[in-house]
Amino acid sequence: MTTFEERTTVHAFRDDALGEHDAVGLAEAIRRGEVGASEVARDAAARVRAVETRLNAVQVHIDVPAPCRGAGGAFAGVPTFVKDNTDYRGLPTGHGSAAFAPRVARRHAPFVRQLVSSGVTVLGKTRLPEFGFSPTTEYDGSEPVRNPWHTDYSAGGSSGGSAALVAAGAVPIAHANDGGGSIRIPASCCGLVGLKPTRGRVVANAQGRQLPIDIVTDGIVSRSVRDTAAFLAAAERHWRNPHLPPLGLVEGPVERRLRIGFLLDSPNGVRSDAATRLAVTETVATLERLGHTVEPVELALDPRFTEDFLTYWGMLSFLIGVTGRMFGADFDRRRMDGLSRGLREAYLRNWQRTPGVLRRLKRTREAYATAFRGLDLLLSPVLAHTTPPIGHLDPTVPYPALIERILAYVAFTPVNNVVGTPSISVPAASATQDGLPIGVMFSGRPGDERTLLEVAFALEADRPFRRIQDL
């Protein structure tokens, strides 16, 4: 294994129009006239080109990006990317799959309209694993997306391309979405802030709203808490769900004392590794020093939760195989990768379980609510072990071994997707022996993104997040 001293780190930070700004800082510099939006777009495109040969994070790149004319908003002139499972007018949408030829989108997806309303300049689209099924962004037959902190390692998934670009400093923020951890997993792997909003906090995802349980939510990955807070405030100005409490702009650390429960191991028995446990226990100590009450708790899920979620995941792959021609007339499910095929075949062996699976998954909200009695937040690992090397979760690994590895890794995040509750990954104080970031996860009550952001602000203020450019 490559040692810490020998690792390959890639970043694009330099003395240009972007500097070391986060999105909020860059938008302020543009508004003050210190830099121009066109200059920022040009320099961001140059940064992307500088790191892309090493990271393989970009699916489609706009050669001459143009800022939105007359655009206002919190992020006016800030460069970003859209994940390639979401339509952006004039660009093809490929879903990370070789099973069909991508078609150019004729209109923006509803979430893209919400994102663009903040004034961002879209530079292109980022890569994801096929249909977002994998917690790593790797492929059968093409180069993987690599982690900029150490290119021998995974950038996470499914929003791995977005996370790699943001962590490397190519852009300050990028679109991500989450159907089982796909915002929080790459945020953890790449040392970013990744918040999965409450179901319904942003406009509904086109794919998710067609599902019997909508597990998919859109958002961003960012390098600072204030960028994520500013994004949610901007999204709310475009559209607010009247069934959720208004959020507004969260601007700083929590002032009240919280009662926080914590888990070290998965509710269904997956034990976290030593480095991950240390990241959580160090966070517990910090929270206690800041005056919060932190205590161990149990989240008593149905023992069949993991199996049920896997069956549901397999149902999604099955449905894509059946309805694939909506992606293009040339869709061929035989060209789907090994993970997608394995999920579909496993579902076909157990499809009769579907009604019971749906009933039990919907009841998960009762167990979640029980665990939150008397608590404000729940702290846990994001993942059961630290970021794996490239190849560990490659879709060419035989399906039985691959799914066993995935279940031993993604053991905490899916609960929030099923229940629809908000959850955030923030960088922990500690890192792996190879210098890779480790994320910790806070989960909240439905509609309570405010408390998640406030506690993340408090941790960031107490211990500023590690910066790749300081290595």
DSSP state of 198: P
Q: β-strand 259-262 against 293-296: which pairing, if any?
A: parallel
Catalytic status, residue 125 = no
Closest by CA position to 331, among listed 346, 320, 341, 342: 320
Longest dimension (CA), the chain: 62
Q: Is the peptide bond before 118 cis (omega within 30 degrees of 0)?
A: no
Catalytic status, residue 182 = yes
Note whether 413 and 382 are within 8 A (CB).
yes
Closest by CA position to 221, among listed 263, 168, 180, 262: 168
DSSP state of 146: B
- Determine which one of 97, 154, 182, 224 is catalytic: 182
Closest by CA position to 295, among listed 267, 269, 260: 260
User: Alpha-carbon dihedral of residues 227, 81, 202, 456, nearest 10 degrees?
Assistant: -30
Q: Cα separation of 447 and 435, whole Å?
A: 35
- SS3 sequence of 2-45: CCCCCCCCCCCCCCCCCCCCCHHHHHHHHHCCCCCHHHHHHHHH
Contacts of 430 (CB under 8 A, 6+ apart): 275, 278, 279, 282, 438
Q: Cα separation of 344 and 142, whole Å?
A: 22
Cα 332 off chain centre by: 28
Contacts of 285 (CB under 8 A, 6+ apart): none
Task: Tell me the angle at which helices 305-323 and 399-407 cross, rounded to the nearest 10 degrees.
Answer: 130
CA–CA distance from 158 to each of 37, 317, 462 (Å)?
Answer: 30, 15, 30
Cα 252 off chain centre by: 22
Q: Cα separation of 416 and 442, whole Å?
A: 11
- Determine which one of 117, 118, 134, 158 is catalytic: 158
CA–CA distance from 73 to each of 38, 77, 202, 267 (Å)?
Answer: 16, 9, 16, 41
Cα 129 off chain centre by: 13
Catalytic status, residue 83 = yes
| Catalytically annotated residues | 83, 158, 182
